[in-house]
Amino acid sequence: MARRTKIYEGKAKILYEGPEPGTIVQYFKDDATAFNAQKKDVIEGKGVLNNRLSEFFMTGLNQIGVPTHFIKRLNMREQLVRQCEIIPLEVIVRNFAAGSMAKRLGIEEGLQLPRPIVEYCYKDDKLGDPLVTEEHIAAFGWASQQDMDDILSLALRVNDFLSGVMMAVGIKLVDFKIEIGRVYDGDFQRLIIADEISPDSCRLWDIETGQKLDKDVFRRDLGSLTDAYTEVARRLGVMPKSSTPISKPTLIN
Ligand code: UDP
């Protein structure tokens, strides 16, 4: 069997050359990292769950006319996606104060924001993905003014879609991060949602109990990350019980 060409290996995913030009195979690993990879672990089954959840969200976005890189899921851990040029920004949308924003501004976690707040971080692990303003983005040429208008509109559409989908299953979308890619169609270029949308990149709280169902479970040692992600998948009807990853064989007495 021919070996595939690895294009890039990140913290949670590996990218391989796809079967056709302009495509990429995105492989979801079980590795979990937090605090810029200072905390690391392998969480059995996480990659399988994130592959299915990202497929679910990206498919829904494609169906409502928000373009994404997602083409199709290939197997338990891999999906075929469209190759794009990643804009070096993490686009964060917040509906409730949490995480770095709560800390930076001295706000209590959970405070509902008067309107969604969009933030941009420059993607650079060595610098710890620093928060930047549109001034930095324009001055350093990371994206044009037209790109920024498109990014804002995409981010807010993703926010409305995800908030509604999660609300319907009793989950509050506190915040999330997306990445944006540029694709070329002949003489035209446009922006699409890339990377992944999963509980690794969102904050999801149960509406009734406030229980955290996202990567904060790992960051803050709040219990089993697989259980939290499985609960999100179960509520969304994404992963039927029978296909949930079986972690270890157990002896039956
Ligand atoms: N986030 C992410 N990757 C990052 C940084 C943040 O997916 O490198 C997500 C994070 O899971 C949360 C949102 O973006 O849903 C806002 O994160 P925040 O800025 O509060 O940073 P954190 O507290 O996670 O360091």
Report CA(129)–ligand 1 centroid distance (Å). Answer: 10
pLDDT higher than threshold 60 for residue 242: no
What pLDDT, on the 0 to 100 scale, is given for residue 246?
55
Report CA(132)–ligand 1 centroid distance (Å). Answer: 14
The 10s digit of each residue's pLDDT in 20-52 is 999 999 999 999 999 989 999 999 999 999 999
Which residue ranges have their beta carbon within 6 Å of ligand 1? 90, 92, 98-101, 129, 175-177, 201-203, 215
Residue 240: inside a domain, yes or no?
no
Pick from 163, 172, 177, 215 the residue to mutate for probing ligand 1's pocket: most ligand atoms within 8 Å of its CB: 177
Give the predicted TM-score (pTM) of the model.
0.94
Which ligand 1 atom lies nearest to the CA of residue 102?
A: 20
Residue 66: inside a domain, yes or no?
no
Residue 166: inside a domain, yes or no?
yes
Residue 227: inside a domain, yes or no?
no
Nearest CA to ligand 1 atom 14: 177
Residue 110: inside a domain, yes or no?
yes
Calculate the average pLDDT of the chain. 95
Residue 248: inside a domain, yes or no?
no
Which domain CATH number covers 189? Answer: 3.30.470.20
- Residue 243 — very low, low, confident or very high, per pLDDT cuts 50/70/90? low
Residue 169: inside a domain, yes or no?
yes
Q: How many domains does the chain have?
A: 1
The 10s digit of each residue's pLDDT in 170-186 is 999 999 999 999 999 89
Nearest CA to ligand 1 atom 11: 201
In the chain, the percentage of residues whose pLDDT exceeds 70 is 96
What pLDDT, on the 0 to 100 scale, is given for residue 34?
95
Residue-range definition of the domain harbouring residue 112: 85-206
DSSP string, the chain: -PPPPEEEE-SSEEEEE-SSTTEEEEEE-SEEEETTTTEEEE-TTHHHHHHHHHHHHHHHHHHTT--BSEEEE-SSSEEEEE--EEPSEEEEEEEE--HHHHHHHT--TTPEEEEEEEEEEE--GGGT--EE-HHHHHHTTSS-HHHHHHHHHHHHHHHHHHHHHHHTTTEEEEEEEEEEEEEEETTEEEEEEES--STTSEEEEETTT--B-STHHHHTT-S-HHHHHHHHHHHHT-S-GGGSPP-S-----
Report CA(99)–ligand 1 centroid distance (Å). Answer: 7
What pLDDT, on the 0 to 100 scale, is given for residue 122?
98
Pick from 36, 50, 92 the residue to mutate for probing ligand 1's pocket: most ligand atoms within 8 Å of its CB: 92
Residue 8: inside a domain, yes or no?
no
- Residue 239 — very low, low, confident or very high, per pLDDT cuts 50/70/90? confident
Pick from 11, 100, 108 the residue to mutate for probing ligand 1's pocket: most ligand atoms within 8 Å of its CB: 100
Which ligand 1 atom lies nearest to the CA of residue 175?
A: 15
